[in-house]
Structure 1
Amino acid sequence: MCGITGSVWLRDNQCVDDALISRMTDVISHRGPNDSQVWSDREHRDGQGNPMGVALGFRRLSIIDVEGSRQPMGNEDGRVQMVFNGEVYNYRDLRQRLQGTGHRFATEGDGESILHLYEDLGTDCFSHLNGMFAVAIWDARKNRLVLARDRIGQKPLYYSWKNERLVFGSELKSLALVPGVCEQIDPAAIDQFLTYQYIPHPGTIWKGVHKLPPGHFAVLDNQGFRVERYWDYDPSQEIALSHADATSRLQELLSDSVRLRMRSDVPLGSFLSGGIDSSLITALAGDHTATPLRTFSIGFPIADFDETAYAAEVASHLQTDHTRFEVTPDAIDILDRLVWHYDEPFGDSSAVPTWYLSQLTRQSVTVALSGDGGDELFAGYDRYRALWLSQKIQRLFPVHRTPGLGLIQRLPDSNRRRSLIRRGKRFLEAIEQPAVRRYLNWLQIFPESLRASLYTDDFVAELPDEDPIAFLESAWSRSEGRDLVTRASTADVLSYLPCDLMTKVDIASMAHGLEVRQPMLDHRVVEFAASLPVRYKFRGRRGKLLLRDAFGDRIPASIFTRPKMGFGIPIGSWFRNEFRSLVNDTMLAPDAAIHRFFRPEAVSSLVTAHQSGEQNHGYRLWNLLILETWLRQSNEV
């Protein structure tokens, strides 16, 4: 697990010198505190004698082959150079195969298998990798640079191709150091951020700077720059499989995925929230340890947000070496650091507890397993049940005749995390809409009408003629013909999972030099889950049925029936108490940076309505505060 940077330029006056590459590399030293290297070839010329300079930078967090596997790494003759962030879990199988065809390995690490596989297969090599990765390969023989990102988007990779110069890196902050790259904010990105609380790929907050989409590679060569997909699957197709065979296959796939992710030359543990997914992963990981597995949970002094009692129950059942951290989250204290690490506006407030959990876990281990992906793959979210229920209601009677609809909508919001009133209001607000827009209504932070009331006329004029929902609609359309629960979960796998959850975990963990591995997101498990009939995963308002059927004997039965809590913090309360002064000094100040886009009176109205208890705008205010903080930081760069 590491951080990568680099550049290729086709004109000598666009050269990125070693000093700049070193700064680009050092600014992400948190991703790799163990080693730093730069490699360059500034004299390279292509077949026509045109300049094609290249420089690669690398920061290393040593996980496998701790003493070896330094990067940038070259092949036998040095004509192919690579920097790689992530883990290839099937590297031993690949290594054996490659040695059989005559390749000589200089290290014991996983990364070298990519290098030699590329020599044999070119860009087809990426479809043979089981892992999480962002990789850059310079091929002097073919005068080209290849970038690639793993199938699910667990590892980030940003790039900018401008003025015949390509720059790339694991984090945007590396690119921001290169003059002429991060210059102009993209208005569409602001609109997307307020919709989703993240900026969807391939865009970023900066015009002309992009995220390489999951499952894609990019090539820069004599024909120019292009991006291509190397992995795809068809979630519109459902396989005919008996329940017994589905159960057996899931047991085989997930158990093998965990086994592969237990390979490490440094201390390894597991996040344990006490939910179904982390409990199952922890149980399966225990099969591969001779001593009790180290497990970690984090608690808060507010009952609505503390599920560590469930984690303790599972830890006792599995006999793990369990550590419970308790913190009083101080978002004011970490806000600036959080925003700096995420590089662009990112509004998922669960980044705060993820930050603390990663920070504290890193004191004991360098690698942690996580249950991420179980909700999306096996229909675990409450919003899937809401979608299913809304379809039932629509079939029974017209929604505008729902008894008490107007009364419920006029009820005041509650601060309680699982308030039935708040959830009921959100449900009824969307029930008359088409399914995909109904689903977006439950996902979005600022609905379209509220965004419109917030934006200044000048900002509206800057917005392109495109609807932010197009990103979700594109993901939704991939499972055409399937049931609504499958369509929603597929859309989440292709949008929310890489853009929100993977970003949140990668940045929060790597900020502390912690590698997080997610066995549920093995591409074999993802493809298998997508092909299953919905009745195997979801039935009668209950999800994750196949997980229970396959592994129900491994963890306490109560874990499958406990209320789902998620991973949150008391945002609503903070904006009525701890954040009052901060809000007044930033978002409501005369020089507030967000006034560039939003009407001051509209922002003030949101704050007043929330602080008076009239409405709960906690998550909306958090996103505005994140944006305000990011804008202030970006102006200082």
Structure 2
Amino acid sequence: MCGITGAVWNRPESSIGAERLRAMTDAIRHRGPDDEGFFSEGIRRDPAGDVPGVALGFRRLSIIDLAGARQPLCNEDQTKWMVFNGEVYNYLTLRRRLEGAGHRFRTDGDGETILHLYEDLGPECFSHLNGMFAVAIWDATRRRLVLARDRLGQKPLYYAVHKDRLLFGSELKCLAQVPGVLETIDPAAVDEFLTYQYVPHPNTIWKGVHKLPPGHVAVFQDGKIKIESYWDFHPEREQPIAKADAVERLRELLGDSVRLRLQSDVPLGAFLSGGIDSSLMVALAQQQRSDPIRTFSIGFPNKDFDETHYAQAVADRLQTKHTRFEVTPDGVDIIDKLVWHYDEPFGDSSAIPTWYLSELTRREVTVALSGDGGDELFAGYERYRALWLSRKINQCFPIHKLPGIGLVQRLPDSSRRRSVIRRGKRFLEAINQSACRRYLNWLQIFPESLRAELYADDFVQQLPGEDPFEFLHAAWQRTPGRDVVTRASMADLLTYIPCDLMTKVDVASMAHGLEVRQPMLDYRVVEFAASLPVQLKFRGRRGKLLLRDAFGKQIPANIWTRPKMGFGVPISAWFRDELKPMVHDLLLDSNARSLRFFRPEVVRQLVTQHETNQQNHAYRLWNLLILEKWLRRWAAEQPNKL
């Protein structure tokens, strides 16, 4: 697990010198505190013409082959160089095949496997990898740079084509070291951020700077970039299967996925929230170890947000070596840290507990397993049940026309985590829309109508014609003919998982030099879960049926039936208490940077409604506060540019 960066250029005046390369690499030192490496070569002539210049930088977090496997890596004749962030879990199988074909290995690490596989297969090699990765390969023979990202977007990769060169990095901080690259804020990205609480790929908050989409490869050659998908994924195809066969296959796949992710030459543990997914991952990991696995949970003084007693019950049942951390989140202190490390506006407030858990877990281990992905793959979210229920209701009668519905919308909100009123109001707001629009309504932070009120006239004029809805809709359209629960869960797989969940975990963990592995997101598990008939996963408003059929006895019975809590902090109360002065100082300031986008009277109205308990705008205020803080930290030098 590491950080990578670099550039390729075709003109001497666009070159990246040693000092600039070091600055780009040092910007991500936190991702790889153990080692560093560099490779650079200027433009040179050969009989076929100019060979572009190249610079590769690397920061290492040592996990496998601690003494060797330094990067950048090269092949035998030094015509191909690579930097690589992540883990390839099936590298031993691939290595044996490559050695049989005559390749010679100098290290025991997984990265060299990619390079030799590329020698044989070119960009097609990435479809053979099982892992999480961001890769850059300089192929001098073909005069091209090849970038690739894993199927689920577990590892990030940013790039920009700027002044006849391509720049890339694990974080935007790398590109920020090159003048003129992060220059102009994209208005469309601001609109997308307020919709989803993240900026969807391939966009970033900056014009001309992009995220390589998950499961894609980019080839930069002759000054042009070509991007293609390498993952042959077909979520529209449902495969009939008997429940007994599905149970057997799931046990086999998840067991093998956990086995592969237990490979490590450094201390390894697991996050244990006490929910179904993390508990199951710990149970499967403990089965394959002779010693107690280290498990970690995080608790909060506010009992509405603390589930560590469930985690302790699971740890006792599985006899793990369990550590419970308790923290009192400091909303004021944490915001600046999040804004610095996430690089672009990122408004998922569950980044806060993820940050604290990663920080504290890193004190004990270097690698941690996580249960991420179980809700999306096996229909665990309440919003899937809401979507199913709303479809059933709409088939019977138009509930939105019932007397008294308007009165429900005007009821005051509660700040409690599982407020029935808040959930009911969100359900009723979307009941009469199309399934995909209805789903977006439950996901989005600022609905379209509120964004229209919020945006200043000048900002509206700069927005493109595309609706942020199109990002979700494009994913929804990947599953024509399937049921609404499957369509929603597959849309989450293609949007929410890479853009929100994986971003949150990657940044929070790598900020502390911790590697997090997600067995549920093994692409074989993903493809299998996507192919299943919905009846095996979801029935009668209950989800995760197949998980329980396959692993029901592995964890305590009450874990399967407990209410889902998620992973959050009490930001609603914070805005009436410890964050109230910050909100007034920043969002209600006449010099607020975000007023280039927003109407001040609407921002003030949102603040007042929340503070007086008229409406719960906690997540909206959090996203506005994150955006304002981000503008002050990252865009201060361009106060007038959009």
Question: Could you say which TM-score interval applies, normalised by the shorter chain?
Answer: over 0.9
Corresponding residue of 1:18: 18
Give distance in 2, aligned partners of 1:187 and 1:374. Answer: 34
Amino acid at match of 1:317: R
Amino acid at match of 1:557: A
Superposed CA deviations along residues 445-500 of structure 1, whole A, max 9, x for unmatched, are: 00001001000000000101110000000000001100000000000000000000
* Stretch moving more, 318-327 or 174-183: 174-183
Give distance in 2, aligned partners of 1:47 and 1:160. Answer: 30
**Mapped contact 2:160–2:168 kept (Cα < 8 A):** yes
Map 1:473-622 → 2, pairs under 5 A: 473-622=473-622
Give distance in 2, aligned partners of 1:301 and 1:167. Answer: 45
Corresponding residue of 1:299: 299
Q: Once the 2 structures are TM-superposed, how far is the Cα of residue 404 of structure 1 from its aligned partner? A: 3.4
**Mapped contact 1:46–1:52 kept (Cα < 8 A):** no
Amino acid at match of 2:411: L
Structure 2 unaligned regions, length at least 5: 638-642
Superposed CA deviations along residues 1-23 of structure 1, whole A, max 9, x for unmatched, are: 00000000011110011110100
Amino acid at match of 2:338: L
Superposed CA deviations along residues 66-110 of structure 1, whole A, max 9, x for unmatched, are: 110000011111111000000000000011000000100000000
Amino acid at match of 1:70: R
**Mapped contact 1:198–1:499 kept (Cα < 8 A):** yes
**Change beyond 3 A, Cα 1:531–1:46:** farther
Amino acid at match of 2:35: D
Question: Number of residue pairs matched?
Answer: 637
**Change beyond 3 A, Cα 1:105–1:51:** closer
Superposed CA deviations along residues 212-247 of structure 1, whole A, max 9, x for unmatched, are: 000000001137211111003111111011000000
Give distance in 2, aligned partners of 1:130 and 1:426. Answer: 39
Give distance in 1, aligned partners of 2:619 and 2:12. Answer: 48
Corresponding residue of 2:629: 629
Q: Does the alignment pair 1:433 with 2:433?
A: yes
Q: Does the alignment pair 1:385 with 2:374?
A: no
Corresponding residue of 1:186: 186
Q: Once the 2 structures are TM-superposed, how far is the Cα of residue 46 of structure 1 from its aligned partner? A: 6.6
**Mapped contact 1:11–1:51 kept (Cα < 8 A):** no
Amino acid at match of 2:422: R
**Mapped contact 1:188–1:463 kept (Cα < 8 A):** yes
Give distance in 2, aligned partners of 1:223 and 1:337. Answer: 37
Corresponding residue of 1:285: 285
Q: Once the 2 structures are TM-superposed, how far is the Cα of residue 405 of structure 1 from its aligned partner? A: 1.5
Corresponding residue of 1:112: 112
Corresponding residue of 1:59: 59
Q: Once the 2 structures are TM-superposed, how far is the Cα of residue 43 of structure 1 from its aligned partner? A: 3.3
Corresponding residue of 1:6: 6
Amino acid at match of 1:478: R
Map 1:173-322 → 2, pairs under 5 A: 173-222=173-222, 224-322=224-322
**Mapped contact 1:154–1:502 kept (Cα < 8 A):** yes
Q: Once the 2 structures are TM-superposed, how far is the Cα of residue 45 of structure 1 from its aligned partner? A: 4.0
Identity of aligned residues (%): 70
Give distance in 2, aligned partners of 1:210 and 1:304. Answer: 39
TM-score under structure 1 length normalisation? 0.99
**Mapped contact 1:215–1:232 kept (Cα < 8 A):** no
Give distance in 2, aligned partners of 1:416 and 1:15. Answer: 55
**Change beyond 3 A, Cα 1:608–1:350:** same
Corresponding residue of 2:453: 453
Amino acid at match of 1:520: M
Corresponding residue of 1:467: 467
Give distance in 2, aligned partners of 1:633 and 1:401. Answer: 47
Q: Once the 2 structures are TM-superposed, how far is the Cα of residue 271 of structure 1 from its aligned partner? A: 0.2
**Mapped contact 1:367–1:514 kept (Cα < 8 A):** yes
**Mapped contact 1:4–1:85 kept (Cα < 8 A):** yes
Give distance in 1, aligned partners of 2:468 and 2:304. Answer: 33
Give distance in 1, aligned partners of 2:44 and 2:421. Answer: 65
**Mapped contact 2:12–2:43 kept (Cα < 8 A):** no
Corresponding residue of 2:640: none
Give distance in 1, aligned partners of 2:17 and 2:476. Answer: 44
Aligned to 2:107, the other structure's residue is in SS state coil
Corresponding residue of 1:103: 103
Cα RMSD (Å): 0.9
Q: Once the 2 structures are TM-superposed, how far is the Cα of residue 554 of structure 1 from its aligned partner? A: 0.5
Amino acid at match of 2:277: D
Amino acid at match of 2:606: L
**Mapped contact 2:36–2:60 kept (Cα < 8 A):** yes
Q: Once the 2 structures are TM-superposed, how far is the Cα of residue 290 of structure 1 from its aligned partner? A: 1.8
Q: Once the 2 structures are TM-superposed, how far is the Cα of residue 636 of structure 1 from its aligned partner? A: 4.5
Q: Once the 2 structures are TM-superposed, how far is the Cα of residue 49 of structure 1 from its aligned partner? A: 2.2
Aligned to 1:258, the other structure's residue is in SS state helix
**Change beyond 3 A, Cα 1:223–1:618:** closer
**Mapped contact 2:160–2:210 kept (Cα < 8 A):** yes
Q: Once the 2 structures are TM-superposed, how far is the Cα of residue 334 of structure 1 from its aligned partner? A: 1.7
Aligned to 1:359, the other structure's residue is in SS state helix
Corresponding residue of 1:169: 169
Q: Once the 2 structures are TM-superposed, how far is the Cα of residue 337 of structure 1 from its aligned partner? A: 1.2
Corresponding residue of 1:89: 89
Superposed CA deviations along residues 595-632 of structure 1, whole A, max 9, x for unmatched, are: 11001111111001100111100000000000000000
* Stretch moving more, 291-300 or 397-406: 397-406
Give distance in 2, aligned partners of 1:633 and 1:311. Answer: 37
Give distance in 2, aligned partners of 1:154 and 1:407. Answer: 44
